[in-house]
Amino acid sequence: MPVYEFRGFDAAGRAVKGLREADSPKGLRSVLRKDGMMVTDVFESGKKGLAKGDTKKAGGLQREVDLSGVVGTSVSMEEVAIATRQLATLLGAGIPLVDSLTALVEQVENKGFKRILSEVKSNVNEGQSLATALEKHPKVFTNLFVNMIRAGESSGALDVVLLRLADFTEGQSRLRNKILSALMYPAIMILVGVGIMVILFTVVIPRITLVFKNANAQLPLQTRMLIFASETARDWWFILLPVVVVGVLVFRRWLARPAGRAWWDRAVLKLPVFGHLVRMLAVARFTRTLGTLLSSGVQLLAALDIVKNIVNNTVIARALEGARESIREGEAVAIPLRRSGEFPPIVIHMITIGEKSGQLEAMLFKVAESYETQVEVRVGMLTTLLEPLMILIMGGVVGFIVFSILMPILQLNQFVK
């Protein structure tokens, strides 16, 4: 059934609005009238204008602007994880899938997510599989999500697969949030520092150095450099700013191409400190995702085809693609991964042991936990080191400015004496 948005007044005369499923606008009006509400507007959620079959016309200044298609339609990873766990709980309690989806739609608050789940429920009610219904919404449900659901439906253990999906999604969300939280303070410091430098070079320094220019004295080199930088920033900002913006846009467009992205990913992996961190993060994502897919019943080749698209690094993705082709020809998993040279020896060793012992999924999870912990520790260390480093850089810039201003002042004093 479609989801309709309604506006009206309750029995106490207070304005109310909300979302509810109904066969038609007329049916929704009847249901709400029984609840003691007087409905003024009914329209299908996410669509402009009044719903088909609604005879009420809004015109002139009485027509309200509908922002439901713009505000509140994005779905976060946390919301998907919560809905997945709730659906797993309902199915595990023996509630049929359509009824479970109905309960899920009723308690979701995000309008966009509610509309998507309602469409999924309608498709399932019409006979489609849950995976097929979810596949129609790739912006919310990833290829990994859909394939795990399909494997769960095939094996008859959909509730178990949903729990694993919820754990996986929540774990990825926690790791991402920890990294973003750790990087938030340095990012704020950088923005504040850049703002201070802009004010100094465009407002403060030009007024101070004006005294030196009027003195007609030979200024030190560092003072001349400071005056040149200040005058350039003040007088040519309308050219420098567009050049910087255009340069960033051109660079991003080049990175969107396969050749540019491949070059960038190779360069990032070769960075002294951050390269190893990026590699560890990619390995953690690879092992965690592959282990989750295999434990949910997805075949190895299909799982590798999914995993290569979520590592976010073309170099490692190509290594996985080559490994997939070698495995298709009969090789063990560890052999082509070792040959690629993109995976640490400990990862290869753990995968080899997992294959020989028949516990590949467990070994993959252990590797993922180890590398996720290392990523968290290293990010914390880097942010701890970045704070004094940024203070030193800011102190160096301020010291250069002070030294460049004091030197000509001392020279002028000596000249007066």
Whole-number average pLDDT of the chain = 80
* Rounded Cα distance, 164 and 148, in Å: 9
φ and ψ at 330, to 5 degrees?
115, 0
Say how far residue 233 (Cα) sits from the centre of its chain: 35
Tell me the C-alpha distance between 34 and 22, whole Å.
14
* Nearest one of 166, 165, 127 to 306, comparing CA atoms: 165
Q: What is the pLDDT of residue 242?
A: 92
3-state secondary structure of 109: coil
User: For position 69, what pLDDT does the model report?
Assistant: 39
pLDDT at position 58 = 39
Q: How confident is the model at residue 1 (pLDDT cuts 50, 70, 90)?
A: low
Ordered domains of the chain (ranges, CATH): 3-62 (no CATH), 77-170 (1.20.81.30), 278-361 (1.20.81.30)
3 pLDDT higher than 90: no
| Res 55 pLDDT > 50 | no
pLDDT per residue over 159-178, tens digit each? 888 888 888 888 878 878 87
Comparing CA positions, the residue from 182, 190, 197 lying closest to residue 229 is 197
Q: How far apart are CA 278 and CA 284, in angstroms?
A: 10
Considering the chain, what percentage of its residues have pLDDT values greater than 90? 6
**Per DSSP, what are the bridge partners of residue 20?**
4
Worst-scoring range by mean pLDDT, 60-74, 89-103, 262-276?
60-74
Amino acid identity of residue 389, one-letter, is: L
What gap in Å lies between CA 323 and CA 325, rounded to an integer? Answer: 5
User: Element (H or E) spanning 4, and its range?
Assistant: strand 3-9
Model confidence at 39: pLDDT above 80: no
Nearest Cα neighbor of 287 from 341, 368, 191 is 368
**pLDDT tens, 203-256?**
877 877 777 766 666 778 888 888 888 888 888 888 888 999 999 999 999 988
Confidence band for 65, pLDDT divided at 50, 70 and 90: very low
* The pLDDT of residue 247: 93
Question: Is the overall model pTM greater than 0.75, yes or no?
Answer: no
Return the pLDDT at 243.
92
8 Å CB contact between 313 and 278: yes
**Can you tell me the mean pLDDT for 300-316?**
84
Q: Which two tokens stand for residue 338?
A: 């070792």
- Paired strand residues for 39: 8
Task: Place 46 in a pLDDT band, splitting at 50, 70 and 90.
Answer: low
Q: What is the pLDDT of residues 283-301, one digit of tens each?
A: 888 888 888 888 888 888 8
Scanning the structure block, which residue is given the tokens 């880097």? 382
- Backbone φ and ψ of 266, nearest 5°: -65, -45
**pLDDT tens digit sequence for 120-132:** 888 888 888 898 9
The more confidently predicted of residues 176 and 265 is 265
